[in-house]
Amino acid sequence: MTNLEKIMSGLSERNFDAVLLLSPENRRYATKLPTSSGAVLIHAGGGIFMTDFRYIEAAKAVEGFEVKMTDRQKSVPAIINEAIDRLGIRRLAFEDQEMTVATFSKFAKELKAELVPEDGFLKALMAVKDIPEKEKIIRAVKMADDAYLEVLPFIKAGVSERDIACELQYRMLKMGAEQMSFEPIVVSGERSSMPHGIPSDRKFRPGDFITMDFGCIADGYCSDMTRTVALGFATDEMKRIYGIVLEAQLAAIKKVRAGVAAADVDACARGIIEAEGYGDCFGHGTGHGIGLREHEAPTVSVVSGDILKAGNVISAEPGIYIDGKFGVRIEDLLFVTENGCEILTKAPKELLII
């Protein structure tokens, strides 16, 4: 079943006559075509792809869609109103988790149909990946894995966080990445206690922990991984903390399978860290879904109400961050199956002392 067919199938279940997609990720999910602008209307009988002159030729190659070009004389609302009249659309779902108030106000004023929130309908569909989607994520994961291994020889005393962040990006782009999933995080020494620290000009020193969190996009789909390495040597305390984080991550991974509450996966990792006395040093969730967006459903945290499903792709990324001293995080991507999970990230994660 194509993504278009999945959306069409779900419309009647939600009592929607059609759904309007404006966000780049949702448009790409439906059409598989990346465009910086445009709109997609999906109804029970198919889809309408509205875009401007820049993308009209590419849009015509997308299967299953009626293509309409927008210009000064024919706006997106005007084309949608024609479809509303022609197809008898009365309840039109909109992206309530994506649309701005200004955009909603504009469409509510101009369209002839009632706008109703899609209320997680699309999020639920996109959270379960089919095999082609999984393969795209694997491709993005391999680029990140390979970039990490290529960058390791550059990690030396005197090299800066910014230097390594640049190297990681360059190598992933050279391998064919469309862009980064997010701005790489490279933090070292006392700065490694900041989970989302911005790479600085701080130069590496012997005895540093260096945490690298990065990923890229391949065919629209994101990767995300974190590795923490030590430069020159690691103290007994550093080795102990690293071991706790790795134990927590492995325990969480072992817990993952379809039907398990995401909060229970989080509790598995968090319980190990808390038992060692570092609960206050682990302030974020154990993981998140990933796909066309770097963060999507399901959420793997203490407050999550999500139940894992076969086809989910999630991260497992517990960490311990000791303020002003150092931090450790280890992150892999997992493909959830009925009986467990497949670890997509292949880079070694035992403590590496460079």
pLDDT at 37: 86
CB under 8 Å to 102, separation ≥6 — which residues?
none
pLDDT reading at 164 higher than 90: yes
The tens digit of pLDDT for each residue in 92-141 reads 999 999 999 999 999 999 999 999 999 999 999 999 999 999 999 999 99
188 closest CA partner among 170, 176, 200 = 200
Biggest CA pair distance of the chain: 72
Mean pLDDT of 70-78: 92
Which tens digit of pLDDT belongs to each residue from 57-70?
A: 999 999 999 999 99
In DSSP notation, 66-103 reads EEEE--SSS-HHHHHHHHHHHHT--EEEE-TTT--HHH
Q: How far is CA 240 from CA 121, 210, 276, in A?
A: 44, 16, 10
Other CB atoms within 10 A of residue 73 CB: 6
CA 255 to CA 155: how far, in whole Å? 34
Sign of the Cα pseudo-torsion (324, 145, 333, 352, in order): negative
pLDDT of 117: 97
CA angle 295, 8, 125 (to 5 degrees): 20
Indicate whether 353 pLDDT > 90: yes
Place of tokens 């990006």: 169
Query: Does the pLDDT of residue 36 top 90, yes or no?
Result: no
- Per-residue pLDDT band for 347 (boundaries 50, 70, 90) equals very high
- The CATH class of 3-125 is alpha beta
pLDDT at residue 124 in the model: 94
Q: What is the mean pLDDT of residues 180-188?
A: 98
- Structure tokens belonging to residue 145: 């894995």
For tokens 């009647």, the residue is: 12
- Considering the four listed CATH numbers 3.30.200.20, 3.90.230.10, 3.40.50.2020, 3.50.50.60, the one that applies to the domain covering 131-343 is 3.90.230.10
First to last CA, the chain: 48
- pLDDT above 90 for 72: no
Confidence at residue 40, expressed as pLDDT on a 0 to 100 scale: 97
Q: Which amino acid is at 65?
A: F
- Contacts for 332 with CB less than 8 Å, ≥ 6 apart: 225, 249, 253, 315, 316, 317, 343, 344, 345, 349
The Cα–Cα gap between 352 and 354 comes to: 6
CB 344 within 8 A of CB 141: yes
Give the predicted TM-score (pTM) of the model. 0.95
Q: Which residue has the higher pLDDT, 201 or 37?
A: 201
Q: What is the percent of the chain where pLDDT is above 90?
A: 97
Average pLDDT, the chain: 97
- Which residues belong to CATH 3.40.350.10 in the chain? 3-125
Q: What is the C-alpha separation between 245 and 349, in angstroms, rounded? A: 11
In the chain, CATH 3.90.230.10 covers 131-343
pLDDT, one tens digit per residue, over 267-323 is 999 999 999 999 999 999 999 999 999 999 999 999 999 999 999 999 999 999 999
What is the pLDDT at residue 73?
Answer: 87
